[in-house]
Amino acid sequence: MTMSIDLVPAPRELRTDAAGPVRLGPGTRLAAGPGTEGVARRLRETLGAATGLPLADGDGPERIELAVDPELPAEGYRLATGERHVRIEGGSPAGVFWGTQTLRQLLGPDAFRRAPVRPDRVWELPRVTVEDAPRFRWRGLMLDVARHFLPKDGVLRYLDLMAAHKLNVFHFHLTDDQGWRIEIERYPELTATGSWRARTKWGHRASPLWDDKPHGGFYSQDDIREIVAYAAERHITVVPEIDVPGHSQAAIAAYPELGNTDVVDTAALGVWDTWGISPNVLAPTEHTLRFYEAVFEEVLALFPGEFIHVGGDECPKDQWRRSAVAKARMEDLKLPNEDALQSWFIGHFASWLAARGRRLIGWDEILEGGLAPGAAVSSWRGYQGGVAAARAGHDVVMCPEQYVYLDHRQDGGADEPVPIGYVRTLEDVYRFEPVPAELTEEEAGRVLGTQANVWTEVMESPARVDYQTFPRLAAFAEVAWSPLAASARRDFAAFERRMTGHYRRLDALGVSYRPPAGPRPWQRRPGVLGRPLDGPPPNK
């Protein structure tokens, strides 16, 4: 067997030993120290399934040891292989878990399968010591399930793919104009009406093509509980997004009184069937506030994490400008304009969440008009929103669209399916630097981390999601985890060499990634109009 030490993401330190390999066999035992019992269960489920080895509990001369060492960084780990054993220590159970992901990589691609492909195989791994810890505490992936619904099993699969790449925050984009995906027991029409649309635009919104099949789906509250628990077992935090006050046409279609009824016939609205930014936004009324407070009460009961994402982006103000109700609200609050009205709306929920021990996070538009203390910002319109937020004392997650929006096309070739946005190659993502150089050391400390975003308007199937996400998510994972050199000095050639082995892992995991040579015939979408943008993206 050829042993691979082409680890992705790259560890902080890797030392090899010329001594012979370590072998795992039927007698290899799994010794789980205090606090690592859950990690041991996951390792048996994955490595045990792939190898067919029983990995029985207990100590022995041939063993895998798991232990917590509080002297290590919380998510850091140390993996060392000896003559007949492997020892993985982590600063917390999470650190131990990330160490087990490295163990799987060291055993080769077949360690990522769900059953043994060669039952008589001798499993070997090299003699190494790996010392490792992540650069950022927030290493995220946002998955948009509102534009195209991804069934629960697909979400669980993406949590496994995140874990294999040491990503630890799953931003779950659950609501938008084109669909409401989470059951809210108090408001059943949100899913009865809001979770499906009659047809779907095929391609970019300028495309003349339509898919005339109804599209929809939603997650029951038990589905959500399962997803959250599944993520927690993999040391992934789920951050739900409930979009307000824009991107809300699906909610308005379900409950027309949420919209600006004095300027538009909201009862005639359906769930939006095309892409772009709907003009139909929430009315700034007490009823709307109480409605969404009830929604968030159920959301808080399902998602125990620190942050709740409220969107806050791309809220057209035209209906508010024409609405007597909105004008009266601005007069009552002594607000100068509609931007300040949106700031008031977001501020209400920032205070409401803070009173319940949670923190609001939203897209960088929430900075307009001022932001409540404690609220955090997802900087998507380039770097400047994040820079402004950090300088104002707010925590930031860097996700600028010109680098880490994975719906953007991966190549300029004519075969690229439904080409959207700028060309963002694997190398472009690898050279992405989350922390802007103009920040001081104190301001840079406000950067919690970084996140790749997968918007699914033109991703009609799980295979399309895979194609857009991989292999670029592997490069992003290294940016988020590893202490890389400055962007221009990063050794992309070395990363490409390591990716040769990593493609085989993705094959074993069943990922329909974009091959380095370009899309396979069935990955193309000839004749489906996209929206390509030429030239380099703005670097700001």
SS3 441: helix
Contact 473, 406 (CB under 8 A): yes
Task: Record the tokens describing residue 431, joined without a space.
Answer: 């050279």
Question: How far is 204 from 418, CA to CA, in rounded Å?
Answer: 7
Q: What is the 3-state secondary structure (H, E, C) of 298-320?
A: HHHHHCCCCEEEEECCCCCCHHH
Question: How far is 51 from 115, CA to CA, in rounded Å?
Answer: 7
Give strand pairing partners of 78. 89, 131
Among the listed residues 148, 159, 145, the one whose alpha carbon sits nearest the alpha carbon of residue 241? 145
What Rg do the C-alpha atoms of the chain give, in angstroms? 24
Catalytic residue among 62, 131, 298, 314: 314
Catalytic residue among 148, 173, 204, 247: 247
Interhelix angle for 472-481 vs 462-469, to 10°?
A: 50
Residue type, 269: L
Contact 319, 355 (CB under 8 A): no
Is 165 a residue of the active site?
no
Is 411 a residue of the active site?
no
Question: How far is 202 from 171, CA to CA, in rounded Å?
Answer: 25
Q: What angle do CA 469, 471, 475 make, to 5 degrees?
A: 100
Give strand pairing partners of 442. none
Eight-state DSSP code of residue 328: H
Interhelix angle for 338-354 vs 286-302, to 10°?
A: 40
Is 176 a residue of the active site?
yes
Catalytic residue among 110, 144, 176, 364: 176
Task: Name the helix (H) or strand (E) containing 500.
Answer: helix 492-508
- What does each C-alpha distance from 326 to 31, 97, 310, 323, 369 come to in angstroms? 63, 51, 20, 5, 17
Question: How far is 103 from 4, CA to CA, in rounded Å?
Answer: 11
Active site residues: 176, 247, 314
